[in-house]
Amino acid sequence: MKKLPLILSIIALCGMIALAVVMFTQGDKKNPAAEPETQVAQAGAIVWFNMDRVLEEYDMANDLRSVFETKANSINQEVTRRQNKFQKDANSFQDKMNKGLMTQSTAQVQYQKLQEQEASLTNYAQQKQQEILEEQQVMLNQISDAIKSFVDEFNVTAGYAMIIATQGDILPMPVVNGSAELDITDALIEGLNAAYVKEKGKTE
């Protein structure tokens, strides 16, 4: 009878060892695709991501920004060209006036034309500035819609209770400080870029 506790202890120890072996071997057989390394937060958790990093590292955002900047630069160059031409014409008119190289009636006609040219230039510059603002807003809407759509789809599988976007370096808001395990920024960037590559492949 005295050997019974010893036997039970040995059986219990063997059981613990067997359980540890099973858990260890199962851990080795986990599918990396099903549980990506970048997704460490558990389902039901409140997680967050750094919007600044997403905007900087999201390939679609960078491509759209590049297209927008090209258009904006082209418009600004044309506005500048017209402004320079007007300034040249105005300087030429003033120089001729100072030297007395035109009659008063001719000067009045030329001055009227300069006023019309200036008004036309102002309207053109305002119109093009509005176009730039609209192009920028469309670009931001496209990026925002793509991120929101992906996050919604991403969370169908992840099952988080809430996903919060945070921005800012000195004092990020609304997440001032959070556990690294709840930061899903890397997972989102990886997924967004993979989805963008796949979408580009369909259109090419």
Region of residue 168 (left: phi > 0; alpha: psi -120 to 50; beta: else):
left
Predicted model pTM:
0.73
Residue 1 has pLDDT above 60, yes or no: no
Confidence band for 54, pLDDT divided at 50, 70 and 90: very high
Q: For strands 162-166 and 46-50, give the pairing.
A: parallel
**Calpha distance 54→103 (Å, rounded):** 65
87 secondary structure, DSSP code: H
Q: What is the pLDDT of residue 200?
A: 85
Q: What is the pLDDT of residue 204?
A: 66
Distance of alpha carbon 11 from the chain centroid: 59
Amino acid occupying residue 166: T
Six-digit token pair at 141? 């809407």
**Calpha distance 25→30 (Å, rounded):** 9
| Cα radius of gyration (the chain) | 33
Mean pLDDT of 49-73: 97
Confidence band for 4, pLDDT divided at 50, 70 and 90: very low
